[in-house]
Chain A
Amino acid sequence: MRRTALLILAMAVMVSVASVATAATGEALFKKGNTLLEEGDLEGAYKAYVEAVQNDEENEAYRQQATMLRQVIRMRKQLARETDNELYSHFALALRSFYHEHEVFGEALALDKAAFKRLSTPESAANLAETHLLMNENKAAIALIDGLSDSHRSMRSQVYLATALARTDQMERAKSVAAALDFSEEEDAGLLFDGACMFARLGNTEKACAALTKCFKQTPPSLLDGGKKYAMQCADFASIKDDARFKGALGTKSTIKESKCSGGSGCGNCPSRSSCSKKK
C-alpha cells in the first residue's frame, strides 16, 4: 500500500516536472523566435514558433504568432509579384503594421522605401518619414519631407518634420512648422499621439498633454494599455515624464465603444450592433 502510494506520488511528480520542462522549452523556443524576428530572419523565427507550438500545443499565443508569421511570409512573396496597386498598398500596410508591432524597423524601412517609390502618395511619404523617425534617422526624415512637393505633403508629414527638426535642435524652424498645424478638430488617435510627441519636443507641455489626453480618449479600449505603455517609454516624452499633467493624461479612459469581435466586452457595447449584418 505504502509502495503503491509512493509510486503514484513519484509518477505525479515526474509528470509535473515534464509539463514544466515542456512549457519551459516551449517558452525558450518562442523567445528564440522573437529574437530571430527582431533580427529580420522571418523564416527562422517561423520555424522556432512552430517548434514552440509542437512543444506546448495548448498555448494559443504560440499558435497565433506562428499563424500570423506564416501569413506575413506569404504576403511578402505575394507583394514582390503583385501588379495591382490597390492590393499592393493593402499588403504593404499590413506588413508594415506587423513590422512596427514587432519592432522590425529594418524591414519596415525597406518596405516603406519600396512603397513610396511605387505608389508615390502622401500616405506612403508620411509612412517612410515615420519609420525614419522611429529609427532616429532624423536627418533622413527632414531630407525626405523637404524634398516632397506640396501635393505629397500632409499634416502627418509636417508633424514628423517639426519633430525631426526639434530633435536636431532646429527649434526655430520646428516651431514655425508646428505653428501652421491645427489639432483642434483632429480625431485620429495616431496623429494626435504624433502631435503630442511634437509638442513635447518643442517644450510645450500643455499642448503635448492635451493632445495625448485626446489621443487616449480616441483609442479603442483593447489598445489603450499598449498605447500608454508606449507613451511611458517614448523618448520624445522624456522631458515631461515627471510632469503631473503627463501623469494625468496617462489616466485617461477611452470613450470608444468596442465590439466583442474587436476585443471589447460584448455585442451590447458595439457601436455597430444594429447594423452588423447589414454591412455587406
Chain B
Amino acid sequence: MALLRKGTRCFQQDDEAPGSDPPHEPRAYLMSAKTLRRLVQFFFVTLTIVGVFVVRGNAERWCPFGGVEAIYTYASEGNMLCSLGVSNFYVLAAVLLITILLRRAFCGYMCPIGAISEWLQSGARRLGIKEYKVGHRLDRALASLKYVLLVVILVLTWIEAELIFRTFDPCYALLSRHGEDITFWAYVVAGSIVFASLLIIMPFCRYFCPLAAVLNPFSRFGLTKVRKDDDVCTGCGECEQSCPMAIPVGQMSTVNSARCMSCFNCVEVCKTDATTALTWGPGSNAKRTWPQYALVVLLFICLSGAVTAAYVVPLPSFVKEHGEPPTETAVAELAVHNLTCRGKASLFDYFVTRDDLYALDGYVRMEAWPGPGAVKVRIIYDPNKTDVDAIKEAITEPYYDRDGDRWRNSPFEIEGYDPLALD
C-alpha cells in the first residue's frame, strides 16, 4: 500500500527483511511541512497586525528582545525601560525555552520579520528575480555582525537607561503605529531589509538581528535536531538547496548549526526511493522522527504559558516607594491617561511626592504599568495620614517648577475623576 500526496511523502513497505531494523518511514500528513509553517507564520503576522492596529494594545510589551534590553535596568533599579512590561521577560523566557527545545523555531515560525522576509524572497522568485547566493566566507563574516550590533545596542541602552535605538527600529515603527519618536531612518532600515530580502534569503535574520545573536548560543545546544542517515542518503544536495539559512545539511550527519530553524524544508524535500534520509527529533537516532505538528504544538504551549503568566502574575513595570510602611495600609487603584512610559512614570512619581499645597503625608508606594491609553496605577498609602481624594488632587493639580520659574499643568487624567468637580 502506498499513499502519495503532493508535497508529502508517505511510504509503507509490505516486505521487511527479517532481523533488520524497520526502515524509518515518513508519515502521512494533511498538508506539507511548508504549508503548515506558512500557516503558523501567517497566524502570528495576523496576530501582530490585529494587536497593533485593531486592538491597538501596547505590542511593544510582547517583544522578546525588549526583555533582553530591559534586563540590566530591571536588575539594577527594579523598573522597566520606556513602556516595556514584565511581560517582555515572560515572552523572552518562552522564546529561550523554545530555542533550547526546538532551536530557532521562533525565527522560522513566529517572528513577523522572518516571515515577511521569507515571503518577499518567495515572491521575488516567482517574479523571476534571481536569488543572490552569499559565498561561504562572506556569509560567516556577515553573520558576526549581529553580535557586534547586539553588544552596541545593549551597552548604549544600559548606559542611557533608554531604548535609544528605538527611533531606528523598523519593527518598532510598525508596533508603535509610527510612534512620535520614530525617525526617517527607521523606514530607511525597513526599506533596506525589504530590498535585501528580494535578493538574499532572510538577510536580517542571518546577519543583523540582535535577538538571533542572543538565541544562537542556546540554539547551538538545542535538544531537537535534523539527523541524516548516511546509509540512505544519495547525496543529491536537495536538502542544502532548500535550506533558508544556507546550512550545508548534506555535509552533516547531525545538523547542529545554531541557525537551524527546524523549518522541515530539508526533511520534506529529501528524495530517496523508499525512505527519507533526514529525520527530526531529539537525540541522534536518525531512524526515529517526530512530526512537525509536535513542534507547532510545543510552540503554542510555550507562548500560551508566557501570556498566561503575564496575566496571572502581572508584576508592575514601575515601582517607587517613599517612607516606612505603616501597620495599616489602604490601596487606591486608578486608571490613568498619559502615563505612557518610564519618563512619564517618573513625572507621576514627582507629582505624588510633591512638597507644595498638595503634598501627601505619610507612606506612599506607587505601582504602575505604563503604556498607551488608560493604564493601571496602584497607590498604597497610609489611610491615617491621607486619602484617595488627596491622592487624586496631588496627581492632577498644576505645580510650580521653582527651578524653571514656571507653572506646569499635570499631563495626567484619572478616569472618572474631574478635578473641577463639575460632574
A contact set with B: CB distance below 8 Å: 50, 53-54, 57, 63-64, 66-68, 70-71, 74-75, 78, 87, 90-91, 93-94, 97-98, 101, 190, 220, 223, 259-262, 265-268, 270, 273-280
CB-CB under 8 A from B343, the residues of chain A are 259-261, 267, 270, 273, 276
B344:A280 contact, CB within 8 angstroms: no
Q: Closest residue of chain B to A69, judged by CB?
A: B398
CB-CB under 8 A from B167, the residues of chain A are 268
CB-CB under 8 A from B312, the residues of chain A are none
Name 7 A/B residue pairs within 8 A (Cβ), A-sorted.
A74-B357, A97-B407, A260-B343, A261-B343, A276-B161, A276-B343, A280-B353
CB-CB under 8 A from B347, the residues of chain A are 261
> Nearest-CB distance from A97 to chain B (Å)?
6
| Docked CA distance A90–B354 (Å) | 12
Q: Closest residue of chain B to A220, judged by CB?
A: B404
B405:A261 contact, CB within 8 angstroms: no
A262:B411 contact, CB within 8 angstroms: no
Q: Closest residue of chain B to A97, judged by CB?
A: B405
| Docked CA distance A68–B400 (Å) | 10
Q: Closest residue of chain B to A190, judged by CB?
A: B405
CB-CB under 8 A from B409, the residues of chain A are 64, 67-68
Q: Give the residue of A90, A220, A280 whose beta carbon is less than 8 angstroms from that of B320.
A: A280
CB-CB under 8 A from B407, the residues of chain A are 68, 94, 97-98, 101
- B25 located at the interface, meaning its Cβ lies under 8 Å from any Cβ of chain A in the complex: no
A54:B404 contact, CB within 8 angstroms: no
Q: Closest residue of chain A to B401, judged by CB?
A: A262
The 0/1 profile, CB within 8 Å of A marked 1, for residues 410-422 of chain B is 0100000001101
B398:A68 contact, CB within 8 angstroms: yes
Q: Give the residue of B181, B346, B402, B405 whose beta carbon is less than 8 angstroms from that of A279.
A: B346
CB-CB under 8 A from A50, the residues of chain B are 420, 422
| Docked CA distance A39–B349 (Å) | 37
| Docked CA distance A50–B422 (Å) | 8
A78:B357 contact, CB within 8 angstroms: yes
B342:A276 contact, CB within 8 angstroms: yes
Q: Given A270-B343, A280-B349, is A67 in contact with B420 using a C-beta cutoff of 8 Å?
A: yes
B345:A66 contact, CB within 8 angstroms: no
B422:A71 contact, CB within 8 angstroms: no
Q: Given A279-B346, A280-B353, is A267 in contact with B181 using a C-beta cutoff of 8 Å?
A: yes
| Docked CA distance A74–B419 (Å) | 14
| Docked CA distance A270–B347 (Å) | 13
B356:A90 contact, CB within 8 angstroms: yes
A90:B397 contact, CB within 8 angstroms: no
Q: Closest residue of chain B to A95, judged by CB?
A: B400
A53:B422 contact, CB within 8 angstroms: yes
**3 nearest A-B residue pairs (beta carbon):** A94-B400, A267-B343, A277-B346
B181:A277 contact, CB within 8 angstroms: no
With A97-B405, A259-B343 given, can you name 17 additional A-B contacts, CB distance below 8 Å?
A64-B398, A70-B420, A91-B357, A97-B400, A261-B347, A261-B411, A262-B408, A267-B162, A267-B181, A268-B162, A268-B167, A268-B181, A274-B160, A277-B77, A277-B79, A278-B77, A280-B322
Q: Give the residue of A57, A266, A276 whose beta carbon is less than 8 angstroms from that of B181.
A: A266
CB-CB under 8 A from B404, the residues of chain A are 220, 262
B344:A261 contact, CB within 8 angstroms: yes
CB-CB under 8 A from B405, the residues of chain A are 93, 97, 190
B320:A266 contact, CB within 8 angstroms: no
A71:B398 contact, CB within 8 angstroms: yes
| Docked CA distance A109–B377 (Å) | 43
CB-CB under 8 A from B342, the residues of chain A are 276-277
| Docked CA distance A278–B404 (Å) | 20
B341:A274 contact, CB within 8 angstroms: no
CB-CB under 8 A from B400, the residues of chain A are 90, 93-94, 97
| Docked CA distance A67–B410 (Å) | 10
Q: Closest residue of chain A to B158, judged by CB?
A: A274
- B318 located at the interface, meaning its Cβ lies under 8 Å from any Cβ of chain A in the complex: yes
Within 225-268 of B, Cβ neighbours of A (below 8 Å) are at: none
A66:B77 contact, CB within 8 angstroms: no
CB-CB under 8 A from A265, the residues of chain B are 180
Within 342-391 of B, Cβ neighbours of A (below 8 Å) are at: 342-347, 349-350, 353, 356-357
CB-CB under 8 A from B79, the residues of chain A are 277
Q: Given A63-B420, A98-B407, is A277 in contact with B345 using a C-beta cutoff of 8 Å?
A: yes
CB-CB under 8 A from B422, the residues of chain A are 50, 53-54, 57
Interface centre among B400, B402, B409 (most CB of A within 10 A): B400
Q: Closest residue of chain B to A259, judged by CB?
A: B343
CB-CB under 8 A from A278, the residues of chain B are 77
| Docked CA distance A120–B356 (Å) | 22
CB-CB under 8 A from A66, the residues of chain B are 420
A67:B419 contact, CB within 8 angstroms: yes
> Nearest-CB distance from B162 to chain A (Å)?
5
B356:A94 contact, CB within 8 angstroms: yes
> Nearest-CB distance from A270 to chain B (Å)?
7
| Docked CA distance A91–B400 (Å) | 9
Q: Given A66-B420, A260-B343, A277-B79, is A71 in contact with B397 using a C-beta cutoff of 8 Å?
A: yes
| Docked CA distance A280–B404 (Å) | 18
| Docked CA distance A97–B401 (Å) | 10
> Nearest-CB distance from B83 to chain A (Å)?
10
> Nearest-CB distance from A256 to chain B (Å)?
10
Q: Closest residue of chain B to A61, judged by CB?
A: B409
Q: Closest residue of chain A to B356, judged by CB?
A: A90
A266:B180 contact, CB within 8 angstroms: yes
| Docked CA distance A130–B422 (Å) | 39
| Docked CA distance A220–B318 (Å) | 28
- B136 located at the interface, meaning its Cβ lies under 8 Å from any Cβ of chain A in the complex: no
B345:A90 contact, CB within 8 angstroms: no
> Nearest-CB distance from A86 to chain B (Å)?
9
A276:B346 contact, CB within 8 angstroms: yes
| Docked CA distance A67–B409 (Å) | 9
A90:B402 contact, CB within 8 angstroms: yes
CB-CB under 8 A from A90, the residues of chain B are 356, 400, 402
A267:B420 contact, CB within 8 angstroms: no
| Docked CA distance A265–B183 (Å) | 12
- B406 located at the interface, meaning its Cβ lies under 8 Å from any Cβ of chain A in the complex: yes
CB-CB under 8 A from B350, the residues of chain A are 280
